[in-house]
Structure 1
Amino acid sequence: MASSTNFYRSQAGGSSIINYGYTDFPWRLFVKDLYYFFAYSWSIPWILWPFYVSGSSGFNELSATWGNMFCVALHVFLLVLQGGFLVSLPLYLILPVWMAVGGIGVFVLLNTTLCRLLNGSKATYNSEAKYAPPRPEHAHEQWVFVNGVSVGRHWLQGNLNRLAITFKRPILGIHNPTSGIIFDLIECLVQRNFSYATSDVRNVYRVLKDVLYDPGKSKVVLILHSQGGIEGGLVIDWLLQELPQDLLSKLEVYTFGTQLTTSTTLTVMSYLSN
């Protein structure tokens, strides 16, 4: 009688398989990400392409509006300021302590002030009603968006309005404030490889948990972009540990342009499949 059991040997992977996983040593993951950043740095200019999108109006972050130009100018200044600070760090080792401390203090004060101008003081924002007014048939839904790197309050508001037009729903934005492009990228590496929950991650968790506990909401759509995918992944890990299934069943997760870790991707896929 023929056997109903088939045995297969281990399948050898191809050269495209990544040779490290999210369970590797954090510092090794950190170094790997740095390597890949510089290895693919040739593609950085494509972030700004296409420079102009017809029909995008003021929603294009590079369109010639006063708000956009102000944000771009501040980011360029922060890029030069932060780059110069990092390059000059070795000099602080040979300077007198009072000069080193004073120089770092001036930099931190200036950097914080400029970022404050970009970010404002609010933790959450809402899309404007003229783009997607609330409707009774959608009262049971809550759409939530977490932005990515280099996004201040002006660009976040534009993102929310654009999403509101696309999905015909009011959008609640949980602000992931920018610290400048360079420091945002460093923060991404720390969050991604060390699973470190910064203050903005904790804020996302607090707001999202409150929404899920709202008895008037039976559907919560979470949209994550860029760095928001890293932060959302950390938050989802916490929610899966703490919230009951009836509350988690409200949640739908969608990502685009994200920098997810393997663990985050598996978490989201596993949850959505259930």
Structure 2
Amino acid sequence: MPAMSLPTSPMIYIPPLRDGACGTTPRSQQPLWPVLRQEMAQMLRMMPTLCWAMLVQRRPTSLADTAGMMLHAVLACFEVGMMLLAVPLWFMLPGAMFAAWVCVCAGVVIAMCWMLNGKEQMHQCNAGSEGWMMGQEAEDEKWLFLGGMGMSSRHCHNQTLPALSRLFSRPMVCICMPTYGIVFDMMAMMLQRCIQMPSQTRRNLYSQMRCALLDDSMHRCVILCHNDSAVIVSQAVAQLCVDLPSEKLRKLEVYTFGAAASEFMLPLGDTDMESDPAHQTGDQVNEHRGIHVEHFAMTSDPFAQMGVLQSVRQNMEGRFCGSVFILNGNNLTNQKAARRAMPTCAGLTMEEYLMALFPVQMMPDSPAAMRSSVLDSVMMIDRDCAEKREIAAMSNYHAASQAKKGGKRLSWTGLATMAGQRNGMNAGMVALEMARKGCKNCDGHKGGEISWLVRYVAVEEKQAADGSGSP
């Protein structure tokens, strides 16, 4: 893998996919059964890592969190036992008794899920509305957050949502992902990654995003999502690209954390995209041509391993758009202090990502050694991965164009000889050069100079931490 040969760095950056040849293939156009077999194999490989990460997860800080974790564990054990007993009981019990047993088990699962999900699926928090970001500009923005797997509605409403609202000093709306137990949630996520399944969560998200983008008084719509909720966001964004004009989509910004999505589709082929994202002014940001997407992924996060990291490093033929910031948890500034303060950081919770990116704001009372953000370190640019993604897209384009003629698939090194002979290949070579230029322009920059998310964090708090009074 290209990333394994890179020198160690707290953060690795992979520029967004340009794909001028439009050679990547969406999953909806791939054979279903091979994709399902691949998903099942990948899920089985992921389970040991996920179980270990859940075992060493940070201990809960409140009695409600402890009760929620115990209920999750009981529900998972009950579902596993129910699935193991289903087949032998189906052979042993009469039909009526087996149906009664299934109904009782379903009732128990529904009751425990009701306690975890709560009554309301959507919550709103204005904890940060009185911070440094006040006035008309705060009212002209729509901020949405989607929690991930394992996050109960109570925890999201009482802890995660207020923390996000205070961090970004904006009113925040949360759409909670309903849970049906970790076992059934994993199965549902596997199916969602392969096919688009209708859900109330996606309908609520699509409605909120569509209303914000069509409202002329709104000049920005920001989406934050964690692990498996990125699958829902990816599908909703793809639908918006079909339903709304490109002028409306310019207001949309998406930031994922440990995305478990297998693809993130955006309109491709625009070789006029900005290749130097560092030090952009406000006017340049507002004139951005399309949807802005950033993915943050911890190398120890099992959901990121099967999602964004798998998609950009190994599945070169897939379409996963957006910039990728890879966080190496074992390369913090002070490793001993990091182990004492965050001994089990695996990226399973949204708070772990926020503390890695914005430790000053999330832990203001922590020691100075622990207040160094990975965004303050110089990034390592994964140029090999960026180039291989563009070359793989051109290779797919050539293979598709030669399929009817009985031609053979060219090697990556032989693609350059085809440039200029076809419009798609020519555009692909231009996109490859743009990707190389983007890697060169980002080389030597810190993560905070490239990521747009830093712009929304309370600047007064950052200046106070740095001891600087300059704007």
Question: TM-score normalised by the shorter chain: which range applies?
Answer: 0.7 to 0.9
- 5+ residue gaps, structure 2, are 5-24, 270-289, 294-471
- The reply to whether residue 108 of structure 1 matches residue 106 of structure 2 is yes
- The reply to whether residue 27 of structure 1 matches residue 46 of structure 2 is no
Give the C-alpha shift of residue 236 in structure 1.
0.9
Find the counterpart in structure 1 of residue 316 from structure 2.
Answer: none
The one-letter code of the counterpart of 1:223 is L
Say which of 126, 130, 145 aligns to 2:124.
126
Corresponding residue SS for 2:266: helix
The one-letter code of the counterpart of 2:49 is S
Q: What is the CA–CA distance in structure 2 between the aligned matches of 1:269 and 1:108, rounded to whole Å?
A: 45
Find the counterpart in structure 1 of residue 407 from structure 2.
Answer: none
Runs of 4+ aligned structure 1 residues displaced above 6 Å come to none
Q: 1:251 to 1:21 in 2, by over 3 A?
A: closer
* Conservation of the 8 A alpha-carbon contact between 2:241 and 2:267: no
Count of residues in correspondence between the two structures:
246
* Conservation of the 8 A alpha-carbon contact between 1:150 and 1:179: no
* Conservation of the 8 A alpha-carbon contact between 2:226 and 2:259: yes
Q: What is the CA–CA distance in structure 2 between the aligned matches of 1:76 and 1:223, rounded to whole Å?
A: 27
Give the C-alpha shift of residue 162 in structure 1.
2.1
- 5+ residue gaps, structure 1, are 1-12, 53-61
Instruction: Please give the per-residue CA displacement for 1:167-199, whole angstroms capped at 9, x wherever unaligned.
Output: 222211112111111111111011111222323
* Conservation of the 8 A alpha-carbon contact between 1:191 and 1:197: no
* Conservation of the 8 A alpha-carbon contact between 2:177 and 2:229: yes
Q: What is the CA–CA distance in structure 1 between the aligned matches of 2:106 and 2:212, rounded to whole Å?
A: 35
Give the C-alpha shift of residue 163 in structure 1.
1.6
* Conservation of the 8 A alpha-carbon contact between 2:117 and 2:179: yes
Give the C-alpha shift of residue 259 in structure 1.
1.0
Identity of aligned residues (%): 21
- The reply to whether residue 145 of structure 1 matches residue 145 of structure 2 is yes
Corresponding residue SS for 2:291: helix
* Conservation of the 8 A alpha-carbon contact between 2:128 and 2:168: no
Find the counterpart in structure 1 of residue 49 from structure 2.
Answer: 43
Q: What is the CA–CA distance in structure 2 between the aligned matches of 1:168 and 1:251, rounded to whole Å?
A: 18
Greater RCO, CA 8 A, separation 6+:
2
Find the counterpart in structure 2 of residue 272 from structure 1.
Answer: 291
**1:1-274 mapped onto 2 (5 Å cutoff):** 22=27, 23-48=29-54, 51-52=57-58, 62-94=59-91, 95-127=93-125, 129-133=126-130, 135-136=134-135, 137-157=137-157, 158-262=159-263, 264=264, 266-267=265-266, 271-272=290-291
Q: If you compute each CA radius of gyration, which structure gives the higher value, 1 or 2? A: 2
Give the C-alpha shift of residue 131 in structure 1.
4.4
Q: What is the CA–CA distance in structure 1 between the aligned matches of 2:90 and 2:57, rounded to whole Å?
A: 42
* Conservation of the 8 A alpha-carbon contact between 1:233 and 1:267: no
Corresponding residue SS for 2:205: helix
The one-letter code of the counterpart of 2:47 is S
TM-score, normalization: structure 2?
Answer: 0.48
Q: What is the CA–CA distance in structure 2 between the aligned matches of 1:268 and 1:70, rounded to whole Å?
A: 44
Corresponding residue SS for 2:259: coil
Instruction: Please give the per-residue CA displacement for 1:44-99, whole angstroms capped at 9, x wherever unaligned.
Output: 245347644xxxxxxxxx42302101211110110111111111121243221211
The one-letter code of the counterpart of 1:47 is A
* Conservation of the 8 A alpha-carbon contact between 1:233 and 1:268: no
Q: 1:273 to 1:204 in 2, by over 3 A?
A: closer
Q: What is the CA–CA distance in structure 2 between the aligned matches of 1:102 and 1:50, rounded to whole Å?
A: 38
Q: What is the CA–CA distance in structure 2 between the aligned matches of 1:47 and 1:131, rounded to whole Å?
A: 31
TM-score, normalization: structure 1?
Answer: 0.80
* Conservation of the 8 A alpha-carbon contact between 1:192 and 1:261: yes
The one-letter code of the counterpart of 1:101 is A
